[in-house]
């Protein structure tokens, strides 16, 4: 299955490699690095070489490249690579080059447990934490003195049952189940404000702290909204197919229950608008005026608003006045960053002023674009609603909570 894993930094240096089935020279990464040099913003996730297949993801400025010797389902490997990154973030709070170098020992122990002879074995965070204790200062000092590792001598109890994602004998003083319904809006808006493309990528993240072995059933008000769905292994797929219910025995702790996709443009609501005006007065000066406002938010407040305006290379500087937030212009990348924060409908954020253009520059193809970031709490923009959560197999009554969040994904407005 997966023979080797190479982790590459932004400079193209391999700073960690792990081999499961056979040792493969790191020179195989040259094919990936060549593809990265040719098109750094759009690297093919699967690269076929004369003797290997390279399957890669990029997260946190770091590239994870898995090497396979035969044809295999690429999405299976891509999902596993994302699971590796999520595990690192769960253990170390982040997944950057410096963090990985700081925890080399624990990372090699994790990779040894997550794959057996190249096949995924243990990928659930709560099971891995029973096998390998998360690092802390006292344990690191004790291991250095005694020569011990972080690996437990006892096999997790869940590995011996038909529910390998949940450990047995779980007990909590307060039994709680929290569900975060998070939706990311991907959209392209043209110059006139019309929607060229819009879809929603959503997922439900859970934090389950329930005693015993609870059997949960989660139902929705409108489950037909889902166009494409992927589940955690705990979900009983047959019940979803027949009844559109999520029936599952949950892992203990944090996990992602379901990921879904909504692509119908009649359903996707655009929550904000940007009214823009960009005019070139003379050959060396232009005027910019931007206003941001809420569009369809069902009375919810738009927070964490940030605009990244990608200006052409011929722009030298910007002298602007913002009535809210603060801005800065990067003269190297030619990106104007405007951090707005919360939008007050009674006083819409506005930024206006002059932009300097290089003398003799061709402004006929002057087509900047805006990347928008925002967060709306207590709103699922697709209209998805959780109906109820029922629990079977245990007699206590847990506390249940559902939170809805809408965020900007790849949200671009063309000027």
Residue 328: CB atoms within 10 A of its CB come to 10
Q: By residue range, what is the domain housing residue 60?
A: 4-154
pLDDT in tens, 335-346: 999 999 999 888
2-6, 43-47, 138-142, 247-251: lowest mean pLDDT where? 138-142
Count of domains forming the chain:
3
pLDDT at 157: 57
pLDDT at 282: 57
pLDDT in tens, 108-118: 889 988 888 88
Q: Quick check: 10 pLDDT over 80?
A: yes
Average pLDDT over residues 307-318: 87
Does 196 reside within a domain?
yes
Cα distance between residue 193 and residue 198, in whole Å: 13
Domain boundary among 90, 121, 154: 154
Which DSSP symbol is given to 85? H
pTM of the model: 0.79
Average pLDDT over residues 48-77: 90
**In a shared domain, residues 103 and 21:** yes
User: Helix count (H) and strand count (E) of the chain?
Assistant: 7, 23
- For 386-407, what is the HEC assignment? EEEEEEECCCCCCEEEEEEEEE
pLDDT at 257: 93
CB half-sphere exposure, 315, CA atoms < 13 A: 26
- What CATH number did the domain enclosing 330 receive? 2.60.40.1170
pLDDT at 135: 75
**In a shared domain, residues 370 and 302:** yes
Which residue stretches of 257-337 are H helix?
Answer: none
Cα distance between residue 362 and residue 187, in whole Å: 29
**In a shared domain, residues 54 and 17:** yes
pLDDT at 152: 64
In percent, the amount of the chain with pLDDT more than 90 equals 36
Average pLDDT over residues 61-85: 90
Neighbour-count burial for 302-327, b at 16+ CB within 10 Å, e otherwise: bebbbbbbebeebbbebebebebbeb
Q: Quick check: 70 pLDDT over 70?
A: yes
Which DSSP symbol is given to 256? E
pLDDT at 260: 92
Cα distance between residue 52 and residue 54, in whole Å: 6
Sign of CA dihedral 164, 168, 171, 176: positive
Does 189 reside within a domain?
yes
Q: Quick check: 35 pLDDT over 60?
A: yes
**In a shared domain, residues 150 and 202:** no
**In a shared domain, residues 33 and 135:** yes
Q: Quick check: 145 pLDDT over 60?
A: no
**In a shared domain, residues 49 and 137:** yes
Does 162 reside within a domain?
no
pLDDT at 295: 87
Mean pLDDT, all residues of the chain: 86
Cα distance between residue 59 and residue 156, in whole Å: 30
Please say whether the beta carbons of 312 and 415 come within 8 A. Answer: no
Residue 386, φ and ψ in degrees, nearest 5? -80, 130
**In a shared domain, residues 21 and 132:** yes
Which are the contacts of 107, defined by CB distance < 8 A and separation ≥ 6? 16, 88, 100
In percent, the amount of the chain with pLDDT more than 70 equals 91
Does 161 reside within a domain?
no
Does 86 reside within a domain?
yes
Which are the contacts of 246, defined by CB distance < 8 A and separation ≥ 6? 216, 217, 218, 219, 231, 235, 239, 240, 257, 258
176-189/399-414 β-pairing: parallel
pLDDT at 137: 55
pLDDT in tens, 150-188: 666 666 655 556 777 887 778 999 999 999 999 999 999
Q: pLDDT category, 141, cuts 50, 70, 90?
A: low
pLDDT at 311: 86
pLDDT in tens, 281-294: 656 678 889 999 99
**In a shared domain, residues 373 and 383:** no
Please say whether the beta carbons of 184 and 407 come within 8 A. Answer: yes
Q: Facing residues of 405 across strands? A: 182, 377
Cα distance between residue 275 and residue 404, in whole Å: 28
**In a shared domain, residues 81 and 208:** no
Does 165 reside within a domain?
no
pLDDT at 161: 61
**In a shared domain, residues 369 and 387:** no
Q: Quick check: 130 pLDDT over 80?
A: no
pLDDT in tens, 371-394: 999 999 999 988 889 999 999 988
**In a shared domain, residues 55 and 71:** yes
Higher pLDDT: 210 or 362? It is 210
pLDDT at 179: 95
Element (H, E) at 69: none
Q: pLDDT category, 250, cuts 50, 70, 90?
A: very high
**In a shared domain, residues 363 and 393:** no
pLDDT at 210: 93
Domain boundary among 154, 188, 212: 154
399-414/228-231 β-pairing: unpaired
Query: In terms of Cα–Cα distance, which of 56, 44, 79 is closest to 5?
Result: 56
Please say whether the beta carbons of 91 and 106 come within 8 A. Answer: yes
Report residue 309 as tokens. 């305006």
Please say whether the beta carbons of 228 and 260 come within 8 A. Answer: yes
Give first-to-last CA distance, the chain, whole Å.
47
Q: Quick check: 208 pLDDT over 90?
A: yes
pLDDT at 155: 61
Average pLDDT over residues 307-322: 87
Sign of CA dihedral 235, 237, 238, 240: positive
Structure-token match 């402004």, residue found: 363
């Amino acid at each position: 299955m997966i023979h080797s894993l190479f982790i590459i930094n932004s400079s193209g240096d391999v700073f960690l490699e792990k081999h499961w089935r056979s040792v493969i020279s790191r020179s195989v990464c040259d094919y990936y690095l060549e593809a990265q040099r040719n098109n750094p913003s759009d690297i093919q996730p699967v690269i076929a070489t004369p003797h290997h297949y390279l399957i890669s993801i990029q997260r946190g400025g770091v590239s994870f490249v898995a090497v396979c010797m035969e044809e295999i389902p690429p999405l299976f490997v891509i999902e596993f690579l994302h699971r590796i990154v999520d595990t690192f973030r769960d253990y170390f709070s982040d997944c950057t080059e410096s963090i990985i170098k700081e925890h080399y020992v624990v990372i090699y122990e994790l990779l040894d447990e997550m794959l057996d002879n190249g096949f995924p074995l243990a990928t659930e965070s709560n099971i891995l934490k029973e096998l390998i204790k998360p690092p802390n200062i006292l344990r690191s000092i004790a291991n250095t003195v005694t020569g011990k590792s972080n690996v437990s001598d006892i096999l997790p109890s869940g590995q011996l049952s038909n529910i390998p994602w949940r450990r047995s004998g779980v007990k909590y003083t307060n039994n709680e189940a929290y569900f975060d319904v998070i939706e990311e809006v991907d959209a392209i808006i043209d110059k006139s404000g019309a929607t060229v493309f819009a879809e929603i990528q959503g997922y439900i993240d859970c934090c389950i702290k329930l005693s015993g072995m609870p059997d949960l059933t989660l139902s929705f008000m409108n489950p037909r909204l889902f166009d494409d769905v992927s589940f955690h292994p705990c979900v009983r797929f047959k019940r979803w197919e027949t009844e559109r219910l999520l029936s599952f025995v949950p892992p203990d702790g944090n996990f992602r229950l379901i990921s879904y996709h909504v692509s119908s443009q009649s359903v996707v609501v655009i929550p904000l608008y940007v009214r823009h005006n960009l005019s070139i007065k003379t050959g060396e000066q232009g005027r910019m005026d931007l206003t941001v406002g809420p569009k369809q938010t069902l009375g919810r407040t738009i927070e964490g608003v940030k605009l990244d305006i990608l200006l052409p290379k011929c722009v030298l500087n910007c002298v602007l006045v913002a009535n809210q937030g603060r801005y800065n212009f990067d003269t190297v990348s030619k990106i104007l960053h405007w951090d707005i924060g919360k939008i007050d409908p009674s006083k819409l954020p506005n930024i206006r002023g002059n932009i300097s253009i290089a003398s003799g520059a061709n402004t006929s193809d002057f087509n900047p674009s805006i990347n928008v970031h925002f967060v709306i709490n207590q709103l699922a923009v697709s209209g998805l609603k959780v109906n109820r959560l029922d629990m079977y197999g245990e007699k206590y009554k847990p506390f249940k909570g559902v939170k809805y969040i809408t965020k900007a994904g790849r949200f671009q407005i063309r000027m």
